[in-house]
Chains A and B, each alone.
Chain A
Amino acid sequence: MANRTIPRLLQTPAIVLLLFWMLVPLSMTLFFSFIRYVLASTNRPEWTSPSISNWRGFGNYQYVWNQDSFWLAIQNSLLIVCSILFLTVILGVAIAILINRTFPGRGIVRVLLISPFFVMPAVNAVLWINMLLDPVLGLQGAAVAGANDLVALLRDAPVVGSFFSLWPQFEPISFRATQTSAYAVIMMVTWQWTPFAVLILMTSLQSEDQQQKEAAILDGASRWSQFRFLTLPHLARPIAIVVMIQAIFHLSLYAEIEIVSRGNGNKNLPYYIGELVNNNIGAASATGIFAVILANIVAIFLLRMLGKTLME
């Protein structure tokens, strides 16, 4: 057909742009990962320009592989991503079921629930780590002080006073500390992405087969078995999609890490690369290739699943 050329022509700009975006920077990363390349070096000035004569083979990969900080970054990445996934899926299923029923003001509740998703990540992090979680000046500080005052008050109360006199003072937690900063990130991202899970799971719940459900009720199926044998299997696919899309987004968390503690205690792979980029480009590029491999493991499964429904 003569008509084939016009559709091709229409697709060309998008394809060329994305081909460039995919190939050029990634090839450069691949090249840099095989050479010695640093931004500043007084001893070896020849290493400061990207040149094939500085070939290092798999040296950068080996160097990164043997760094404890690299493995710590992988561990942090996985801890943060898996915790967020776990929490958002559990909360998402529960809340989706909760608001799938009609009740007065349902539309408003939906709007309230979805709002966190549109908050820009930088604001999300600044808001949580300062106004909400600051151990002294934030809401946490006020809440802990209030709880301590309440306990102090109850100590003098009749009957229960002797019980409360044994209570210790509550101590506020600093979420910028090494031990806790990952939890701050998990908390704020869970707050932001639970609405995403709710939105998708709720959309999916609306297409659940109601007749099947009514039949199950007539047969005397309990609430739990309705959920376990009808709703949950129905939600399996959307849950998988929620998990994979979030995994891809959260593997590249950056702003939250930076704002909470500048990588202290929650340094993930993108942040680690960001630090290496300040000088050791070779190592940063090798780490980047590892990050690509990690993301692709998730991406392959997601693409396969999406491909199945694409042409329906």
Chain B
Amino acid sequence: MAIVAQHTKFSKVAWPVLAWAVGLLFFFPIFFMVMTSFKTDADAVKPEFLFRFTPTLENYTNMTNNYDYWRFATNSVITSVTATLFTLFVAVPCAYAMAFNPSRGTKDILMWMLSTKMLPAAAVLYPMIFMAKSLGIYDTKFLIVMVLSLINLPIAVWMLFTYFKDIPKDIIEAGQMDGLNTWGEVREILIPLAWGGIASTALLVFIFCWNEAYWTVRLTTIDAATLSKLIEGNRAPEGLFFGRLSAVSTAAVGPIVVLGWFCQKQLVQGLTFGAVK
């Protein structure tokens, strides 16, 4: 093999070392955050305890007292899960129709949908506040669910469309021959075949909802405030609370980072709208 022959002895050692160094370097800030979360607030700012310290769980056990963590976490879970389900509920039928019964306008509709994603949020900030306040839904979970669903709908439709498109049409036609109606097609053929695609779309939409930091911060005060709002509200502790702030941050991002590890591949398709495979 020509390619193998090209590797010198030096690069055989240096290459993995360098790759590992880069990987660890990129992970270091997260490691540092997790490590700080096991220090007391006093120890967290002392250089002599930088890497040698007595680990404590007090930052985690005090999360409710310090930050009312679970209230914000509950809001994050409720809004993200509901928004993900609602997005799929709207996006799956749409992508299904587009993939299996494309018309001349389908491509244009898809392009137009994506263009809504490119609308800068700040440009419509005041109208959103204005409408929410006039309708009396400002700072409600309903509003946050609606906004999260709308901003993620284009991505969900695109992702699902690229998955559905790859399902051979012959299978659907064979199903029709066997006398399946539309609902039967969906239940017997589409869902079993596209299950993986639907699941990874859901996962990605959920991650985006969870991490959303513009609308959740600007359209909430207390009742519907999510974890983004909690962290943003405690932005500048002036060194006093590094330990407890690290704990609450770790709790806020931990589940999502782990979830993200499982959908790396789908992420590429979802984020590039199917243009890179």
Contacts and interface: CB of A to CB of B under 8 A. Distances in A.
A13 B94 contact: yes
Interface string B258-274: 01110011011001111
Interface in A90-146: 95, 98-99, 101, 103-106, 108-123, 125-132, 134, 136-139, 141-142, 145-146
A8 to B, nearest CB: 7
B23 A109 contact: yes
B214 A255 contact: yes
B86 to A, nearest CB: 10
Contacts of A296: 118
Contacts of B45: 137
B177 interface: no
Contacts of A6: 97, 101, 182
Contacts of B153: 14, 17-18
Contact of B253 (A118, A204, A210, A223): A118
A118 B97 contact: no
Say what secondary structure dominates the interface of chain B.
helix
A288 B107 contact: no
Nearest to A210: B3
A87 interface: no
A305 B47 contact: no
B157 A14 contact: yes
Contact of B277 (A103, A125, A203): A203
Contact of B120 (A137, A138, A295, A302): A295
A145 B48 CA distance: 11
Nearest to B20: A109
B136 interface: no
A284 to B, nearest CB: 6
B249 to A, nearest CB: 4
B275 A305 contact: yes
Interface residues of B, number: 100
Contacts of A274: 122, 125, 218
Contacts of B228: 120-122, 255
Nearest to A281: B126
Nearest to A109: B23
A118 B249 CA distance: 13
Interface residues of A, number: 112
B119 A141 contact: no
Interface stretch (B25-33, B53-61, B191-199): B25-33
B252 interface: yes
A238 interface: yes
A174 to B, nearest CB: 13
B238 to A, nearest CB: 8
A310 B268 contact: no
A53 interface: no
Interface string A252-285: 1011001100000000011001100100010011
Contacts of B44: 131
Contacts of B73: none
B260 A130 contact: no
Contacts of A136: 239
A10 B47 contact: no
Given A139-B32, A252-B120, A32 B272 contact: no
Shortest 6 CB-CB contacts between residues of A and residues of B? A288-B123, A118-B260, A270-B122, A7-B97, A137-B239, A25-B124
